Amino acid sequence: MPAGEFDARNSPVSTEILKVEVVVVGAGPGGYVAGIRLGQLEKKTLVVEKTAPGGVCLNVGCIPSKALIHASKVFEQSAHGQDIGIHVENPRVDIERLQKWKASVVGKLTSGVRQLLKANGCDYRQGTATLLSPRTIQLVESDRELLIEAEHIVIATGARPVQIPSLPFDGKRIVDSTGALDFAELPRRLVVVGAGYIGMEIGTLYAKFGSKVTFVEALPTILPGSEAECVQVVARRAKKLGMEVLLGAKAKGLVDKGDVAVLSVETANGVVELEADKVLVAVGRKPNIEDIGLEIAGVKTAGGFIVVDRQMRTSVHNIFAIGDVVGQPMLAHKASREAEVAAEVIAEKHAEMDAQVIPSVVFTDPEIASAGLTVEDAEKRGHKVKVGKFPFAALGRAIANFDTDGFAKVVMDAESGRVLGVHVVGAGAGDLISEAALAIEMGASAADLAMTIHPHPTLSEAIMEAAKAAQGEAIHILNR
C-alpha cells in the first residue's frame, strides 16, 4: 500500500464505509455550489458540513446581516419620513420579531440549498470530517461515524473570526459577527473593534436603530482597501449618524462592571476608556485549515492558506480546495466560481480560474462597490489614466429616491480607452457593479459603456454618465 494511504481493514473499530466519486467538505457558497455542479456533471457526490447547509454566508453572515441592514434602513426612513411628507408616529424596533423575521429569511435559503443538492443528485450529511489519507475521510455524525472513500476531495471549510487575546469572545459582552447579529435586545452602547467592512456594516445598522456606536481602528482609515474617495463619502455619513471613530487606536482590555463594561483603548493622546454594553470584535477572518488532516494527506499550505493552482488543485493531485481557505479575497461569489471550476476539472472538462476581476461590495450606508483598478493601482502598473465621475446628486432617480450621497467613477486607460476600473458609492451600488465587471472581463472601452443606452430614470445611468465624463462628453454635468 502506498505511503500515506489509509486501509480501513486495519481500523480498530468496525465502521461503515461509504464509497463516492467526490466528497466535498463544507457546504458554504463554495461547497454547496461544487456539490450542485458535480451533480449536474453526473458525479456521485457527497457534501458534508458541520452545521446547516449554506455555511457562514447563508446562516450567520452575508444573508442575516443584509436582512438586518435592510430593516435598519426601513426604520431610519420611517423615522425621517416627515422630510418627504410621510408622518410615522413613534417608530420602534421589536427586536424579538425582527430576529424571527431574519431567521425566516435564513431558513428559506438553507432549505433551498438542501433541495437543490437533492434535486441535482448530490447527497448531504451533517458531521465533522477529517482527512485520513488522500482518498479517505472520517465523518463523525451525531450518532455514528463512517469512513468515506472518494476518488476526489474538495476542501471548502471556510473561515472564522480572528480573536484578540485581550478580548476573547464570551458570547455575552464580547461577541463576534455571529453574536452581533443575534442580540436579544438593542445595545445602548456598542463598541466595534475594527472598522473594516464587517465592523462598519454591523455598526452602521445598530447606529440606525439608535445605539451609540464607537469604532476602534488600529489603522489610519476606516474600510482599509476600499477606494479612498468612496470611503470619504461613507465617513461623512457615519458622522451624520452620530458614530464616533477612533483611528490609530488599539483596544487593550475590558473590565466588566456588571451593568456596564469599560474598554481601555490606547490612542495617540493616551489611554481612553469607553463604556459599552456590547463589544464587537471584527478584525478579520482566518481560514479553517487546522485539524482537518491536511498534513496527513500531504496537502501543502503557505501563509495560512492552502496552495492551489488555477484549476483549484492542491499539491495532492486528486484533492481540490476552494473559497476562503485558498486566499484573498474572502468573498462568497469568488468561492462559488472556484467551486464551478473545481467541479468541471474533476469532470475532465477544460476549466480554470481566469477571472479578470472579482467585484466587491461593502454594504455600509451608502454602499461601496468596486471592480478593477483604482487610479493609484493603475498608475503603479504604468497606465496613463483618465477619470470620469458622475455624482448621484445630479441623477434623477437618486434625487427622486431622496438618496443623493455618492458618485460613480470610471477609470479609463488614456491611450486605449479601455475600462480599467469602476467604483461606485451610493444607494444600490452593489446592484450596479456587475455591469462594470462584465465590461472589464470583455475588455470594453469607456466608449462602449457610454454608447450603451441605459434606461431612464435609473441609478445605472450614473455609470454611463461617468464613462462619458472620462471622455469629456458628459451630458448632465459640466466636463472638466
Catalytic positions, written as ranges: 456
Ramachandran bin of 327, using left for φ above 0, alpha for ψ from -120 to 50, beta for the remaining angles: left
Q: How far apart are CA 88 and CA 470, in angstroms?
A: 43
114, 210, 364: which is closest to 106 by C-alpha?
Answer: 114
Compute the radius of gyration of the chain from its Cα atoms.
24
* CA dist 33 → 59, 271, 347 (Å): 16, 48, 15
Q: Taking the CA of residue 250 as centre, how many other CA atoms within 13 Å lie in the half-sphere pointing to its CB?
A: 7
Q: What number of H helices and E strands is found in the chain?
A: 14, 24
Contact indicator for 68, 363 with CB cutoff of 8 Å: no
| Three-state secondary structure call for residue 401 | coil
CA distance 127 to 49: 6
In the three-class reduction of DSSP (H, G, I as helix; E, B as strand; rest coil), residue 221 is classed as: coil
User: Cβ contacts of residue 279 below 8 Å, gap of 6+?
Assistant: 167, 173, 174, 175, 190, 191, 192, 193, 251, 254, 261, 263
Site of grid cell 454602499: 367
